[in-house]
Structure 1
């Protein structure tokens, strides 16, 4: 799951809010974003890094409370600083000292996609009620708004639905609709802007209508806008879905960054997460 999530993030990063790049959406390679020059082709962004924080906290069975999660958010960024975050939040992460400092200084009233983009690993939990409970806690740290929390829960439940084979992927929106307020059954059309519910609805739409990971990735990017977030969420779920052919091009797998927290680290973390 984490490996595929990172591939979706890294591939989509070259196209984020860059309509002039759409012509390169053929899966032949990772592309350089025309403005985000610090994120090189094959590098993942904040979507993956924040997902690592959630996954590591789950694997280590830490107490699921704001302080320990905030400390994880600080740790994963400061051990491996990278671009991709909103400028103000990145500046915050560069100066915050620890979990206590994080909670004391954060303005946790966003309705954007930050809590949803990191929620996928919570889909491994064994019940929808536990997914929602833990997802609400992690989301409220930074996105303590109805839309911010609901988008995060919907993102995690998309993975949960696929991983546990709850039903056909075409009905994932209906499943989420019964558990989380929102219009998750409505197909998304057009550009995806920054609100969390937008990226989740686009990911649900793409998951429901594609039969392979390659088609899913291309479809996510074709929306335009915040496509790295859409692709990371959709591929996390798609990687767990028995109806989806796992056919991501090998050159995208091999081309994903492989530093201390890159491809091999993600594979190892995936094994530990699924064993949980």
Structure 2
């Protein structure tokens, strides 16, 4: 799952908020592309979506207590050991000035309803029960996105992974199942059009692409075709799709081989993935 979601993140990063004509021309899965709006981000390199997902995955397999303090510490550690592009400018600057989880919590303003809590929650969907999933998701979400929509988007993204991993129904019904679990019909409504920065938008778009099923490559292309914040959409959708027995795992070898493989790249992601529940 971690490798697949990182591929979604890295591929989608080449198209994040790019001109729709550029997306139409280059969304072919023939390889990673450099985003014309963010030229400093190297093709094949993942962004904050994967880095913070990896932070939570490593915390989950470490056996450490799952608390606001340990979550914040995981975020700080992941950022400082491997500084990278892709973070929102303000949050990137913030992370650069904090050195401990305690300092993070003392200074953060957790009032965002954007997609940060949803994009990183996928590993928690592998926990045994929906109650486990929701507890762990809520703790991590409220560290930075302690708003109704910020938490709800994270819950929906994690539950989508749980639904696919446990084979709780046909992938086409994932949105309806999430809507029922969370008591809100919004998650069953298909998304159309460009995706903005809000967590609800990214997660709804991801559920829409996921519900179409078929193949991982088809899900990835569908995520990017929305335009807008598509790296987050692809991260959320590919995490869940990679756990579904219905979705054919056919990501092009060029995307697998082209994913960065430094100290925290493809091999490290696979190693942590093997230790997840």
Relative to the length of structure 1, the TM-score reads 0.98
4+ aligned runs moved over 3 Å, structure 1: none
CA RMSD of aligned residues (A): 0.8
The separation in 2 between residues aligned to 1:215 and 1:126, in whole angstroms, is: 29
The separation in 2 between residues aligned to 1:137 and 1:178, in whole angstroms, is: 22
Partner of 2:208: 205
Aligned pairs for 1:40-51 (under 5 A) are 40-51=42-53
The separation in 2 between residues aligned to 1:230 and 1:262, in whole angstroms, is: 20
Give the CA deviation at 1:97. Answer: 1.5
The separation in 2 between residues aligned to 1:68 and 1:185, in whole angstroms, is: 33
Give the CA deviation at 1:181. Answer: 4.4
Give the CA deviation at 1:62. Answer: 1.4
The superposition leaves residues 218-247 of structure 1 with CA deviations (integer Å, 9 ceiling, x where unpaired) of 000000000000001100011000000000
Contact 1:57 1:69 in 2 (8 A): yes
Partner of 1:127: 129
Partner of 1:241: 244
Unaligned runs of 5+ in 1: none
DSSP-derived class of the 1:72 partner? helix
The superposition leaves residues 237-276 of structure 1 with CA deviations (integer Å, 9 ceiling, x where unpaired) of 1100000000000010000000000011011111111xx3
The superposition leaves residues 39-94 of structure 1 with CA deviations (integer Å, 9 ceiling, x where unpaired) of 10000000000000110110012111101110000000000000111100000011
Please state if 1:261 is matched with 2:268.
Answer: no
Give the CA deviation at 1:38. Answer: 1.9
Contact 2:213 2:246 in 1 (8 A): no
Partner of 1:8: 8
The separation in 2 between residues aligned to 1:181 and 1:95, in whole angstroms, is: 39
Partner of 2:22: 21
Aligned pairs for 1:69-80 (under 5 A) are 69-80=71-82
The separation in 2 between residues aligned to 1:106 and 1:193, in whole angstroms, is: 23
The superposition leaves residues 132-176 of structure 1 with CA deviations (integer Å, 9 ceiling, x where unpaired) of 111011000000000000000100000000001011101111111
Please state if 1:112 is matched with 2:122.
Answer: no
Give the CA deviation at 1:37. Answer: 1.9
Contact 2:190 2:204 in 1 (8 A): yes
Relative to the length of structure 2, the TM-score reads 0.98
Could you tell me which of 130, 133, 151 is aligned with 2:153?
151
Partner of 1:52: 54
Give the CA deviation at 1:180. Answer: 1.6
The separation in 2 between residues aligned to 1:198 and 1:211, in whole angstroms, is: 22
Unaligned runs of 5+ in 2: none
Please state if 1:251 is matched with 2:254.
Answer: yes
Contact 2:16 2:227 in 1 (8 A): yes
The superposition leaves residues 183-207 of structure 1 with CA deviations (integer Å, 9 ceiling, x where unpaired) of 0000000000000010000000001
Aligned pairs for 1:150-189 (under 5 A) are 150-182=152-184, 183-189=186-192
The separation in 2 between residues aligned to 1:178 and 1:35, in whole angstroms, is: 39
The separation in 2 between residues aligned to 1:234 and 1:6, in whole angstroms, is: 11
Partner of 1:218: 221
The separation in 1 between residues aligned to 2:230 and 2:79, in whole angstroms, is: 22
Could you tell me which of 259, 266, 270 is aligned with 2:273?
270
Contact 1:150 1:181 in 2 (8 A): no
